[in-house]
Amino acid sequence: MYKTYKFRIYSTSEQKTMINKNFGCSRFVYNHYLELGKKNKVSNRFENIKDCTHKLKQEYPFLQEADSCLLQKILDHLDKNYQRFFKSGFGYPKFKS
């Protein structure tokens, strides 16, 4: 027999602000590299991660507030979506809104 526990987390206003910033930054990075992928500017995820940490964070300082692991994981998800598109015939990745 399995038991489950449900928890509800009541976050403070500072935590809500940080969560919203992380969501916004991840959406921005995903859409930015998806746009570059459409233009064939950057090809693989390792180049994207280098570009994100060195150039993109310098251009857009609000990205420095977000967690770096989060941004790298978003680029991993984008790369996985591209691989699914080219191998399995899933639809082309869509912009996040």
User: Which pTM value belongs to this model?
Assistant: 0.83
Q: What is the pLDDT of residue 43?
A: 66
The answer to whether residue 33 is domain-embedded is yes
Q: Which regions in the chain score pLDDT beneath 70?
A: 41-43
Quote the domain boundaries for residue 22.
17-86
Q: What is the pLDDT of residue 15?
A: 93
Please count the structural domains in the chain: 1
The answer to whether residue 92 is domain-embedded is no
DSSP state letter for 20:
H
The answer to whether residue 48 is domain-embedded is yes
The answer to whether residue 9 is domain-embedded is no
CA dihedral 35, 39, 43, 44 (to 10 degrees): 10
* CA distances from residue 2 to 5, 19 in whole angstroms, order as listed: 10, 32
Q: What is the pLDDT of residue 53?
A: 83
Q: What is the pLDDT of residue 91?
A: 83
Residue 80 CA to residue 74 CA, distance in Å, equals 10
